[in-house]
Structures are given as structure tokens and as C-alpha cells.
Amino acid sequence: MRLGGIGQRQNKKQHQSDILDGDPISPSSMQMEASGSLITLETEAPDTVDLSRLSLDDAAPTKQQSPNETSRPAAKAPSSAAPSPDALFIVIPRNELPNPLPGETELSLAVPAARHFVNTYYQHFSAAQINDLGRYYTAKGQKSVSIGGAHSVVTGRNDIATQILSLAGTVFSVRGVVSQDTVDGQGAHILVTGSAVTGSGGVSANFAHSVSLTRVKPELQVESTCPALTAAFEAGIPFQIHNDALALLSGEAAPMNQPQFTSPAPAHHPPPPPGLF
């Protein structure tokens, strides 16, 4: 049975026209027409959220902090060890600082650092100055000596000084020097080659000497009581020896222009230095 056929169809067309011509349908109120009657469905609109009252603390669950976390002090980055009060330094004078290389902003100190290392280090092997040589090393420095197949490695200034004493009187003749800046620009890797005549028995041998110099940071002046450090910074840029590996190579060395060693070199090797393993 159909109720109000023509009238309802006209009303339906009129209603559709009103929808097309009027405002968009709100989701909160939708109307459906059925045969003979008009059925209205109303959906409940969600509550409007007040953005001004939102907080990140409300969105995330509350994390309870343990007592250990509240009482634990913030970790402090360890600083480099300050030089000892009697430390000595290899210094590049300010008037010898090179200009930056093209395209670089930092100075390359490898060449002047190597030059002053060679001029300072090897002259200390005389009996009068060898005791001062250990003062050029950092507090955690390492030194090794290799003679043929024997190797000796020591760390710390006291053991380094003891090992150096075993080379007292050795005369070094430098022939080649290669130097390179460290990757962080705060030091230099140096390779020195030449020949040497030991003071204990006059053994002659070629040598290769690998050295790592580290630049002393200016802020260490505050922590240090070393008077030589203050003078070094006033004069230029100071360095210390952090790693030192000396190898006396077996085989005959080229003759050296040293009048005190005119006799042929004996075939035996010098006694091994302290710390041999």
C-alpha cells in the first residue's frame, strides 16, 4: 500500500533541491525518508576539545624517578692531565709560526714541531743533560726501544727516564725527517731516520725513530703549577712527547763523522735496556 504517492514524491524532490541549494549537511543531524513518513536520525556530536587546556604531561604517563637518579651528580668530562711542576716543553716560537695553507683555516705545525724536536731531543743524550730528557714526556707517555729482536716498552715518566739512561752517551746523526699533523690538528707524527753510535761499547747502527707530539692545551695553565709552562706559552706553542718508539736496526751503519769513534765498530750488540720482555 503506497501512501501519498504524488505528494510525497514532490516533497522528496523539493527536499533534495533544498539540500543541494542550502548549507552542507551537518553530521550531527541527518534525515532519512521512508515510505509514508520522515525519519530523523541525530548523531551525538563529540565534545569540543579545549586545546588551551592540553598538556604534554597529561598525554604521557608519569615516570617515577628513582632515588638514585635524583641523587646522582652530573657526569663531568675528564680533562687532560696537567703537566708536572718540573715539566719541560718543545716550543715553536711565535715568529716561526707558518701561514695557513691555501683553503685551510688552521695552522700546520708539523714541520716546525719536527725541526724543534730534532734540535732539542738528541742533544740531551750527553751525560750532562740526559736526566732532563724524561721531563719532556706527558704524564701518560710511552717509550719503547728495539734492538734487533729485543723490545722494551715502558710507560710513565719514571720508567721512561730509567730507559733513557741506558742510552746515555749515544750520538745520533739525523739524515731524514718526515712529519705530519695529527688528524685533530693538535699534534704531530714524526719519523726520524739516521745512524747512531751507542755510548756503551760504541756500537754503530742505523735507527728509525717514531715520535708523537701532543700540543699542550692553554686551559691547562690554570691547573698546572709548572713555571716552564707559563714561559712556554709566552714564547709560542708548547708540545710534549706522548709516544716514542726508537729502533736500532741490525747491520752495519754508514760511517759517521765523529772523531771519537775512529776504530771499527765491534760486532756485538749493546746490553738490552731496562724493561726488556
Is residue 262 scored above 50 in pLDDT?
Answer: no
Is residue 170 scored above 70 in pLDDT?
Answer: yes
Q: Which three cell numbers stand for residue 93?
A: 716560537
Cα 58 to its chain centre, rounded Å, is 42
For residue 107, the model assigns a pLDDT of 85
> How do strand 137-147 and strand 236-249 relate by DSSP bridges?
parallel
For residue 56, the model assigns a pLDDT of 43
By percentage, how much of the chain surpasses pLDDT 70? 60
Question: Which one has a higher pLDDT value, 197 or 253?
Answer: 197
For residue 264, the model assigns a pLDDT of 47
Give me the mean pLDDT over the 181-194 stretch. 94
Please choose, from the candidates 88, 158, 148, the residue with its C-alpha nearest in 3D space to the C-alpha of residue 123. Answer: 88
pLDDT band at 102 (very low <50, low <70, confident <90, very high): confident
For residue 191, the model assigns a pLDDT of 97
For residue 13, the model assigns a pLDDT of 52
For residue 100, the model assigns a pLDDT of 82
Are the C-beta atoms of residues 160 and 154 closer than 8 Å to each other?
A: yes
For residue 15, the model assigns a pLDDT of 52
| Residue 52 φ then ψ, to 5° | -70, -15
Place of cell 701532543: 214
Are the C-beta atoms of residues 196 and 204 closer than 8 Å to each other?
A: yes
Taking only the tens place, the pLDDT of each residue in 103-159 is 877 889 999 999 999 999 998 987 678 889 999 999 899 999 998 888 999 999 999
Taking only the tens place, the pLDDT of each residue in 28-76 is 444 444 444 444 444 455 555 454 554 445 544 555 555 555 455 544 4
